[in-house]
C-alpha cells in the first residue's frame, strides 16, 4: 500500500504526465522526498525522471556538501543528475533592486529552464511554502493575484507536493529510511520568509492547527475568482486594443477592477511589472485625461476615448539610426531628429514635425513593406503607404525614401508626411522635428 504522500502526488493536480520529468533537487527534506516519490511512481506515471541541482555560489563548504549529497542520492536511485553552478552574490551586487534571495531564485529557475528544455520541471513547494508566500504578500499589501499563492502548475513548472504539509514529508522520509540535509540559511532570521516560517505560522497554528490547509483552500477559491476576472479582462483587451496605434479605446466603460487588469496586461507586454500605485495613476489618466509619468521609462497619455501606455525615450537631440532590414546603412542622406519643447504646436509643419510623446516604443527607419498603412492628418481613414508615396513622390525618388516607424507602425514618410496619431495638438509637450539633408560623404 502506497504512503499517503505518494497517493497525494499520484492523484493531485500537479501529477506529471508521461514523458520527461526533471526534479529540482537541493538535498533538503522537501526536494529529497519529491525525488523519492517520483522515483517510486516512475513506472506508474511512465516518466523519464531526471534531476538538476543548482549550486548558488553561497554558503561555501556547506553548498559543496549539498552538491555531493545530491550526487550520491541520484546515484543511489539511478537518476541522471546535472549540477549547475551560478553566482548569486554577483548578480545581487550588480542590481540594487535584487536581494540575494531573489537573485538566487532567478538564477535557479533560469538554470532549470536551460538544463531541462523538454518536459516538465517539478519543484518541491508544499503547503507551508504556499502559506508563507500568501502571508508575505498580505503583509506588504497585495491584490488578488498575490493572495492566490503558488499555483500547482505554471507553464512547465509543476509542484506535486503543494497540498502536502511538512509533517507528511518528514513522515514519508522516515518510513523509507531516507536521510536529507539541512540548509543553515533556513534557520536565520534575516530573510522575511524565514521570520514568517519561524514565528508567524507557529503562532497561527496555535490558534488553529489546520491553518495551513485552510489557507490553501482560501488560495484555491481566490485563484478561481482571479482566473474569471483575467478571462473577462482578456476579452475586454481584445475589444479595446488597436494593434495599429497601440491605443486602448472605450476602456473607461468598464469597472475599475477590469480596467486595471487590462492596463496591467499592456504594461507587462512592455516588460514592466506594475505596482498598484502605478495602475491607479494610469487609470486616473484614463478617466481624467492628460499625461503622466508612471515610472522609470513609462508614461500614460489619454486622447479622447483612447489611452496610450508609452515607453519614454530620452528627450535629447539625436540622430535616429538609419538601418534597413539587412542592417545596411542608408547612404546619401542624413536625417537629423531633434526634440524641443512645444510652442504654437498648432502651427507645426505636419510633413516633418510630430508629437514626440505619442511615439510608441523606439523609433527606427526601414524600407516600407507591402501592406504598410498610414492615416494622414485630416483624412479620417488609413491608406496604403505605397499609394501615398505614388501620389506624392516622383518615381526616381521613391526607392530611397526615409520612412520612420515605431512599435505600432509607420509614423512618418519623407515626401508624404506624418501619421495622424502623432500629429501635434494643444496638449503636446515635446516636438520631434525631422530634417533630411544630403550626405556628401555617402
- Whole-number pLDDT of residue 395: 86
What are the backbone dihedrals phi and psi of residue 100, each rounded to the nearest 5 degrees, phi first? -60, -40
Number of domains in the chain: 3
- Yes or no: say if 121 and 113 are a contact pair by the CB < 8 Å rule: yes
Asked whether residue 44 is domain-assigned, the answer is yes
Q: What is the pLDDT of residue 234?
A: 94
Do residues 299 and 345 both lie within one domain?
Answer: no
323, part of any domain: no
- In this structure, are 195 and 49 located in the same domain? yes
Residues 42 and 186 reside in one and the same domain: yes
* Residue 324, in any domain of the structure: no
Angle 221-225-226 from CA coordinates, rounded to 5°: 115
Does 251 share its domain with 291? Answer: yes
Last residue of a domain, one of 281, 311, 341: 311
Q: Cell numbers 494610469 correspond to what residue?
A: 282
Domain check: are 207 and 258 in the same one? no
Within a domain: 109: yes
SS (H, E, C) 268-308: HHCCCCCCHHHHHHHHHHHHHCEEEEEECCEEEEEECCEEE
CATH number of the domain within which 271 lies: 1.20.59
CA quadruple 150, 154, 158, 163: dihedral sign: positive
Q: Are residues 379 and 269 in the same domain?
A: no
Same-domain pairing of 159 and 51:
yes
- Predicted pLDDT of residue 351: 79
In a domain, 230, yes or no: no
Residue 385's pLDDT is what? 92
Nearest to 293 by CA among 266, 313, 319, 320: 313
Map residue 309 onto helix, strand or coil.
Answer: strand
**Joined grid coordinates for residue 177:** 529510511
pLDDT per residue, tens digit, the chain (442 aa), is 678 899 999 998 899 988 999 999 999 999 999 999 999 999 999 999 999 999 988 878 888 999 999 999 999 999 999 999 888 888 878 766 677 888 888 889 888 988 888 999 999 999 999 999 999 999 988 888 889 999 999 989 999 999 999 999 999 999 999 999 987 666 565 678 888 988 999 999 999 999 999 999 999 999 999 999 999 999 999 999 887 777 899 999 999 999 999 999 888 877 667 788 888 889 999 998 888 877 666 778 888 888 988 765 443 434 444 433 333 334 566 777 776 665 554 455 667 888 887 888 778 888 888 889 998 888 888 889 999 999 888 888 888 888 888 878 899 998 899 998 888 887 777 788 888 876 544 3
How confident is the model at residue 332, as a pLDDT?
61
What is the reported pLDDT for 322? 42
Is 265 in the same domain as 200? no
What strands, in cross-sheet order, belong to the sheet with 409-413?
Answer: 364-365, 403-406, 409-413, 417-418
Residue with grid cell 543553515, as numbered in its chain: 184
Please, what's the largest Cα pairwise distance for the chain?
Answer: 86
Nearest CA among 186, 126, 119 for reference residue 152: 126
How is 198-253 classified by DSSP, letter by letter?
Answer: IIIHHHHHHH-TTHHHHHHHHHHHHHHHHHHHHHHHHHHHHHHEETTTTEEESGGG
Domain identity same for 340 and 249: no
Can you give the pTM of this predicted structure?
0.66
Q: So what's the pLDDT on residue 217?
A: 93
Question: Which residue range forms the structural domain that includes residue 391?
Answer: 333-438
Amino acid at each position: 500500500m502506497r504512503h499517503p504522500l505518494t497517493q497525494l502526488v499520484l492523484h493531485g493536480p500537479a501529477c506529471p504526465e508521461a514523458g520527461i520529468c526533471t526534479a529540482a533537487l537541493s538535498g533538503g527534506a522537501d526536494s529529497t522526498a519529491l525525488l523519492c516519490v517520483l522515483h517510486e511512481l516512475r513506472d506508474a506515471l511512465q516518466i523519464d525522471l531526471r534531476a538538476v541541482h543548482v549550486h548558488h555560489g553561497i554558503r561555501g563548504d556547506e553548498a559543496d556538501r549539498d552538491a555531493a549529497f545530491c550526487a550520491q542520492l541520484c546515484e543511489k536511485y539511478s537518476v541522471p543528475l546535472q549540477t549547475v553552478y551560478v553566482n548569486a552574490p554577483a548578480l545581487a551586487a550588480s542590481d540594487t533592486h535584487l536581494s540575494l534571495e531573489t537573485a538566487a531564485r532567478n538564477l535557479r529557475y533560469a538554470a532549470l529552464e536551460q538544463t531541462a528544455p523538454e518536459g516538465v520541471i517539478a519543484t518541491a513547494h508544499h503547503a507551508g511554502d504556499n502559506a508563507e508566500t500568501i502571508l508575505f504578500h498580505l503583509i506588504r499589501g497585495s491584490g488578488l493575484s498575490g493572495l492566490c499563492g503558488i499555483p500547482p502548475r505554471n507553464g512547465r513548472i509543476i509542484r506535486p507536493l503543494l497540498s502536502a504539509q511538512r509533517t507528511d514529508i518528514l513522515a514519508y522520509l522516515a518510513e523509507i529510511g531516507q536521510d536529507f540535509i539541512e540548509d543553515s540559511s533556513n534557520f536565520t532570521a534575516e530573510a522575511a520568509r524565514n521570520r514568517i516560517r519561524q514565528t508567524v505560522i507557529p503562532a497561527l497554528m496555535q490558534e488553529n492547527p489546520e491553518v495551513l490547509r485552510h489557507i490553501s483552500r482560501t488560495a484555491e477559491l481566490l485563484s478561481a475568482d482571479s482566473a474569471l476576472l483575467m478571462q473577462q479582462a482578456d476579452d475586454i483587451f481584445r475589444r479595446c486594443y488597436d494593434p495599429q496605434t497601440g491605443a486602448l479605446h472605450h476602456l473607461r466603460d468598464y469597472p475599475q477592477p477590469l480596467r486595471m487588469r487590462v492596463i496591467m496586461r499592456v504594461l507587462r507586454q512592455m516588460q514592466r511589472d506594475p505596482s498598484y500605485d502605478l495602475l491607479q495613476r494610469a487609470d486616473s489618466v484614463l478617466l481624467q485625461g492628460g499625461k503622466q509619468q508612471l515610472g522609470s521609462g513609462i508614461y500614460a497619455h489619454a486622447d479622447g476615448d483612447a489611452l496610450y501606455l508609452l515607453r519614454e525615450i530620452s528627450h535629447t537631440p539625436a540622430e535616429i539610426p538609419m538601418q534597413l532590414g539587412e542592417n545596411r546603412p542608408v547612404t546619401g542622406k542624413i536625417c537629423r531628429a531633434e526634440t524641443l519643447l512645444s510652442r504654437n504646436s498648432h502651427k507645426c509643419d505636419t510633413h516633418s514635425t510630430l508629437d514626440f510623446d505619442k511615439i510608441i516604443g523606439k523609433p527606427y527607419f526601414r524600407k516600407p513593406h507591402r501592406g504598410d498603412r498610414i492615416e494622414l492628418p485630416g483624412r479620417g481613414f488609413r491608406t496604403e503607404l505605397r499609394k501615398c508615396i505614388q501620389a506624392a513622390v516622383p518615381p526616381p525618388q521613391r526607392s530611397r525614401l526615409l520612412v520612420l516607424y515605431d512599435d505600432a507602425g509607420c509614423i512618418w514618410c519623407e515626401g508624404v508626411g506624418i501619421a495622424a496619431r502623432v500629429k501635434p495638438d494643444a496638449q503636446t509637450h515635446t516636438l520631434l522635428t525631422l530634417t533630411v539633408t544630403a550626405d556628401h560623404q555617402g
